[in-house]
Amino acid sequence: MIKGYVNIVNKASKGLENIAAVILFLSAMLVIANVISRRVFNTPITGTLDLVLFFTTALIALSIAYCAVEGGHISISIFVDRLPKRVQKVINVVIGTISALFLVLVSRQLVLYAISSHSSGDVSLTLRWPHYPFILLLAVGFGALALVVVGQVLSLFTEEGEQR
């Protein structure tokens, strides 16, 4: 059951990461096209800064969960590693649970902020694109990260988690 949950969350995180990779490619192509347009035609592509900022937001939001799946986030375990395995497990469960709850709270607040942004009509300066879809993407990213952390905590209660 836990293994199935972790597998689904990991695959979903990988899917989000793949979307982020496409966004990164599009962002790079846009910057290159803007530089060429500026040099060759003496005219930049309108809204490049807005687009790159939105793309960067989406890129980070969609890739943060898979980074956690791969163990790419920074962790300082110099003190915990010296403790007995049982104590390490308890500490990891407590920290993971607090982290997951915090991430759910962040995701919830981002949804509320997106609703507020939509209501107030916040838009980018050049393209006049609304901010709320990208705020919602951040909420999705933090929600996905919360699901990954929950999976990591649950995995501590399996035999494989015992060996970590």
102 — pLDDT class (breaks 50, 70, 90)? very high
Answer for the pair 52, 26: CB distance below 8 angstroms, yes or no: no
- Closest alpha carbon to 34 in 23, 19, 17, 46: 46
Tens-digit pLDDT profile for residues 24-69: 999 999 999 999 999 999 999 999 999 999 999 999 999 999 999 9
- Structure-derived torsion over alpha carbons of residues 144, 102, 100, 98, reported in degrees to the nearest 10: 170
Cα 163 off chain centre by:
28
- Closest alpha carbon to 101 in 155, 142, 156: 142
Q: What is residue 109's three-state secondary structure?
A: helix
